[in-house]
Amino acid sequence: MLKSKALWALVAGFAVLHLVLAAWLPLVEDEAYYALWATQPSAGYYDHPPMVAWGIAAGQAILGQGALGVRLMSVLAGALVTLLTWRIAWLYSADQKTAFRAALWGKIMLPFAVLGFAATPDAPSVLFWTAAVWALAEVQTTRRANWFLAIGLFAGLGVLSKFTNLFFGLALVIWLVATKGGRDWLRHWQVWAGAVLGCVVLVPFALWNAQHDWIGLERQFGRLAEAQGFSAVDYGLFWVSVIVLVTPVLFWLVLTGLRSKQVPPVLLWLIAPIVLYLTYHATQAVAGGQWLLPIFPSLAVIAALATRQGRLMRWAAPTGLTLAALVLVLGFWPGRVVISGQNPFTQGRGWDHAIAEIRQLAVDNDAVWIATDAYGLTGQLTWYLGHEIPVWSVTEPKRYLFRGALPPSLCGEKAMFVSRTEFPGGVSYFQSSTAGQTIIRHQGDRVIMSYYTAIVSGLKTCAR
């Protein structure tokens, strides 16, 4: 790996691209929300485990409070995933061309090529899942049981990133119990020590949940019961999204790889539980192809191991790179909205003018703080204005346990309420409200979002 110039060129090229995008593009809603988390690092949060907040805090400690600091660890995680993908493929093939093909194919999948800089829980989730797969590949090829300690550590850190990574632990247990190759390892103490290590990593997070009535687990696992019934359209869209995100040619190569004798069965065991579950889940509720992100590097390895020649193989990289470049150009074209809707390509646009209007409106009305009713808006306004004027949400207090309750000193002060939803009957959260002007966030002549404002006072929850 150290001697592979092509690999290092691939890693460096995408790292530079993603660092430039990370520094240049404004934060989207979720990133701003997670950046708010990072102002108060905690052992847990309502929406997700804490790894994304820890990563943002670390990046900001290195590069400061700007967008690049927020996204630094995601860019580094993406680079490490590429190196790990190369290593996994090399361990199973002992062939540098195959290993590079896996690294390249993994990197050109749309989520990694286009949004490989985004500060979301997916970045550490994918990193630690892939690291655990790498450690298991080391176990199988070196026959050294000590690697199970690393597997346990990475599996635990993965769950600290996103609950999706629980599927890795489930898959590993199934493989260890259901296959002879897996059962042969159960007599080694390192397997059990690795399991303990993975659990120990999760202790602070578990204690935080216990102290807060298990709200983190309730939030995530409560979704399992949100069955809506089968929708052929939603089910079809799920698989279309998977195919597009993996890229169509690579998806076909993955399918052919699933039945190839060149692919170690353990790789199939590791992806089976999450694929089977989401295939079922998509029949009951809306599911997104991005939920499979942690296994995308493994899919690249499967495709590369199974494909050593053929015309389709030669088209995989060019078509993937072309599709990624097209999405990048259309999505982030300066000064013009091409991909419309509420998505990462529009959420960061048009804020300079909108923030200037919100700031001036607050000053003109002597507002002491800004009130919001949506977590994404809370994150964005805190990111742009939090150093000038306090921004607090008046809804969903569970989301903000890390920062505590609204300071009592603000309860009786005049505030400016900002919402994406109109409130013709007045703002119900306050005893007094006077409708203000509507602020438009736009790019050129394209309206991206309207924000409705009111001057309010007497937050009702303060009186309870």
Below-50 pLDDT ranges, the chain: none
Q: What is the pLDDT of residues 425-448, one digit of tens each?
A: 888 999 999 999 999 999 888 899
3-state helix, strand, coil in the chain (%, to 5): 65, 10, 30
Other C-beta atoms closer than 10 Å to the C-beta of 289 total: 21
pLDDT of 463: 64
pLDDT of 335: 79
Q: How far apart are CA 247 and CA 345, in angstroms?
A: 19
Q: Which residue has the tokens 């404002």?
A: 453
pLDDT of 297: 98
Q: How far apart are CA 331 and CA 142, in angstroms?
A: 44
Q: How far apart are CA 77 and CA 95, in angstroms?
A: 24
Domain map (residue ranges) of the chain: 5-331, 351-463
pLDDT of 328: 93
pLDDT of 225: 62
pLDDT of 312: 82
Q: What is the pLDDT of residues 170-199, one digit of tens each?
A: 999 999 999 999 999 999 999 999 999 999
Q: Which residue has the tokens 């629980």?
A: 166
Q: Which residue has the tokens 């959260």?
A: 429
Cβ-contact 215, 209 below 8 angstroms: yes
Of 291, 303, 287, 289, which Cα lies nearest the Cα of 251? 303
Q: Which residue has the tokens 């049981």?
A: 145
